[in-house]
Amino acid sequence: MLDEKVEPFYDEVIRRNAGEVEFHQAVREVLESLGPVLAKHPEFADAKIIERVCEPERQIIFRVPWQDDAGEVQINRGFRVEFNSALGPYKGGLRFHPSVYLGIVKFLGFEQIFKNALTGMPIGGGKGGSDFDPKGRSDDEVMRFCQSFMTELYRHIGEYTDVPAGDIGVGQREIGYLFGQYKRITNRYESGVLTGKGTAWGGALVRTEATGYGTVFFANEMLKVRGESLDDKTCLVSGSGNVALHAIEKAQQLGGRVVACSDSDAVLHDPDGIDLDLLRQVKEVERGRVRDYVERRSSARLLPGGTIWELAADVALPCATQNELTGKDAASLIVNGCTIVAEGANMPCTPEAVRAFTEAGVAFGPGKAANAGGVATSALEMQQNASRDSWTFSYTEERLATIMADIHQTVYATAEEYGQPGNYAAGANIAGFLRVAGAMVALGLI
C-alpha cells in the first residue's frame, strides 16, 4: 500500500505518463517503500526529490531508417531515456525487441537509477533501445540497422555523459557494430562510451557472465544469513539466454542442482540436472530451442503448455523478462517449498507475486539488487578503459563477488534499520533512493 505522503506523487506520475503501465508499476514498487524515508528526512519532500527522480532529465526518441537484404526500406523507432545523473554519467543498456516502446524504456531506466546506486559505483541511470527485432535478421541487416541507430544516438552519448551497454537483443555483435559507427563518426577511439565490448577491443572479462553470476552470488548471500548455502539446493532458472545460462553455470559451480530452464516455446525439465554443455551447444552455437535439448537427452522432458514455476525447487531465479512470474506462480512455488527467489531479469515478478512471497516468508531479492552484477561489471569495464588497462578473469570475478556481497549487506541492513527486517525489496528501494536523493540535494536545484 502507498503511504499517504507519497500517494499524490504516484497519481501525478500516472497523469503525466499515460499508458506507460510498466513505468507505473516500477514507480509504485519504489514509492511503496518510501513513507518511512520521508518521515525521517523531510528535507527530501521540501526539495521535491520524489517528483524530480520520477521525471527523466532527458528523453530522446528518433527515427531509424535502414535497408534490408531485399533492398526494402524499413523504419524503426529508437529511444534513449537519460533518467538521472546525480551520481555519475547515465549508465544502462540498449534493448532491441518488438515490445520496446517509451514505457518499457522508462521502466528500465527508472529501475537502473537505484540499481546503479546500490553498486556504490559513480554511475547514474538510463536506458534505451528500439522496436527492431534482430531475430531472423542477417548479420548485414543487423549491421545496417545498428549503423543507422548510432548515426543519431552518437550525439547524445559519451564516456562522461551517457554510457550504453547491451540488453535483450543487443549482444557483442550489436555492440561491435554500434561502436564501429561511433568511432567512424567521431574520429575518436573512445573505448569507455559503450560497455559489453569484445575483450580484443576494450571489453572486460566476466562482463558476459556478470548478470547471471551476480544473481547467483546474491542468492547465495541470502542463503548465508539463514545458515545455508546453494550446495545441494534444487534450482529453477527461467529463460535460456545469456543471463540464464550463466546463472545455471554459477549455481552448478556452487553446488546447486538446476533442473529446469525455458524459452518462449516451452519449459525444459531435466530431473537429473541440466547438462550445461549440451544446452550451450543448442542455444549459443545452433541458436536452437529447448526442445532440441530434449531430443538429445533421455532424462529430459518438455512442458509445452506448462510453466517452470509449477516444479518443486528450493531456489527460483527468474531470468527471462518482465512480469513472467505471477501471483499464481508464486503460490505454486510456495506450496512446493521454495524459500529463495532472486530476480535475474528486470521486474520479472508481478506485484501479486512479490506480495505472496513476502507474506509467506520467502526471501525475495529484487532485480535492482540481485541482478546489479551486470552494470557493476560494466562500471569495472569503464575503469579499465579509462586507465588503458585489462584485468584477469579471476580478479574481475572476485571484484564482482565482493560488490554483490556488499549490495546484500547494504540492503539487508537498511531493511532492518527501517523496521522491515528480511524485506529485501524495501531495503533495496530505500538504500538506492537515499544515495540518489542525498546527491540530488547536494547538487542543488538542477
| Side-chain-facing half-sphere of 140: CA atoms under 13 Å | 5
Measured N-to-C along each axis, helices 424-443 and 21-31 cross at an angle, to the nearest 10 degrees, of 90
Q: What is the model's pLDDT at position 304?
A: 74
Q: What is the model's pLDDT at position 4?
A: 85
**And the C-alpha cell for 394?**
579471476
3-state DSSP call for residue 260? strand
Query: Mean pLDDT of all residues in the chain?
Result: 96
Domain range list for the chain? 1-55, 56-189, 210-368
Q: Is 5 annotated as a binding residue?
A: no
Q: Is 91 annotated as a binding residue?
A: yes
pTM here is 0.93
312-335 pLDDT, tens per residue?
999 999 999 889 999 999 999 999
Active-site residue, selected from the candidate residues 106, 127, 197, 233: 127
Name the percent of the chain lying above pLDDT 70.
100
Please state, as a whole number, how many other Cβ atoms lie within 10 Å of the Cβ of residue 412.
21
Q: What is the model's pLDDT at position 133?
A: 97
Yes or no: is domain 56-189 CATH 3.50.50.60? no
State the CATH architecture for 210-368: 3-Layer(aba) Sandwich (3.40)
**Taken in order 395, 401, 405, 406, is the CA torsion positive or negative?**
positive
Q: 418 and 36 in contact (C-beta within 8 Å)?
A: yes
Q: Label residue 3 by pLDDT band (50, 70, 90).
A: confident
Q: Label residue 209 by pLDDT band (50, 70, 90).
A: very high
Helices (H) and strands (E) in the chain, counts: 18, 12
Report which of 230, 213, 245 is spatially closest to residue 400, judged by C-alpha positions: 213
164-180 pLDDT, tens per residue?
999 999 999 999 999 99
3-state DSSP call for residue 46? helix
11-34 pLDDT, tens per residue?
999 999 999 999 999 999 999 999
Fold agreement between 56-189 and 210-368: yes
44, 46, 48, 49 alpha-carbon torsion, rounded to 10°: -10
3-state DSSP call for residue 361? coil
Q: Is 112 annotated as a binding residue?
A: yes
Q: Distance between CA atoms of 368 and 346, rounded to whole angstroms?
A: 7
127 annotated active-site: yes
